[in-house]
Amino acid sequence: MSDINKAMAIAAAGMRAQSSRMRIISENVANANSTAKVPGGDPYARKTPVFSSIFDKEVGARIVRMSKAVESGAEFRTVYDPDHPAANEQGYVKYPNVNTMIELMDMREASRSFEANLSVIENSRAMLQRTLELLKR
């Protein structure tokens, strides 16, 4: 595999990892205001992606991938609302430990990382195209 193809494969793996990250962030935002299904129960817990670097034999290089998503151990938000169906005995409702502003910043970072990897692929393709044009002469 040529170095240009290797660079494209590494960038494509990065794009897949960032896509997975964006999917998890979207899930967090979608569940930011959900509550437990039973009174006093725990609501949705924020998830964060865990990335790992693996050696891809086909590419001949290390690539990144999302290995799993783990639940945050942060405390849930509580709001006093005794009339809510998910309220506990003291009248408090637990809400997810999701901060929408943090999720939006993470989404922006993931989007920029995705775009950077896309730029690597576009530039690599342009170099391959230029090489082919030079070889035709």
Question: pLDDT 10s per residue in the chain (137 long)?
Answer: 688 889 999 999 999 999 999 999 999 999 999 999 899 899 999 999 999 999 999 989 999 999 999 999 999 999 999 999 999 999 999 999 999 999 999 999 999 999 999 999 999 999 999 999 999 87
Structural contact between residues 11 and 124, judged by C-beta atoms closer than 8 angstroms: yes
Q: Is residue 89 part of a domain?
A: no
* Cα–Cα distance, 24 to 85 (Å, whole number): 27
Of the candidates 7, 3, 25, the one whose C-alpha atom is nearest the C-alpha of residue 110 is 25
> Within a domain: residue 90?
no
pLDDT at 1: 63
Our count of domains for the chain comes to: 1
| Separation between Cα atoms, residue 26 and residue 77, nearest integer Å | 19
In the chain, helix, strand, coil percent, each to 5? 45, 20, 30
Is residue 126 in some structural domain? yes
Task: Confirm whether 41 is domain-assigned.
Answer: no
Please give the pLDDT value at position 28: 98
Q: Could you list the residue range(s) of the whole structural domain that residue 21 is in? A: 3-36+46-73+99-136
pLDDT of residue 4: 87
Q: Is residue 130 part of a domain?
A: yes
Judge whether 69 lies within some domain: yes
pLDDT of amino acid 75: 95
Confirm whether 16 is domain-assigned: yes
Q: What is the pTM of this model?
A: 0.86
Element (H, E) at 77: strand 77-80
Does 81 fall in a domain?
no
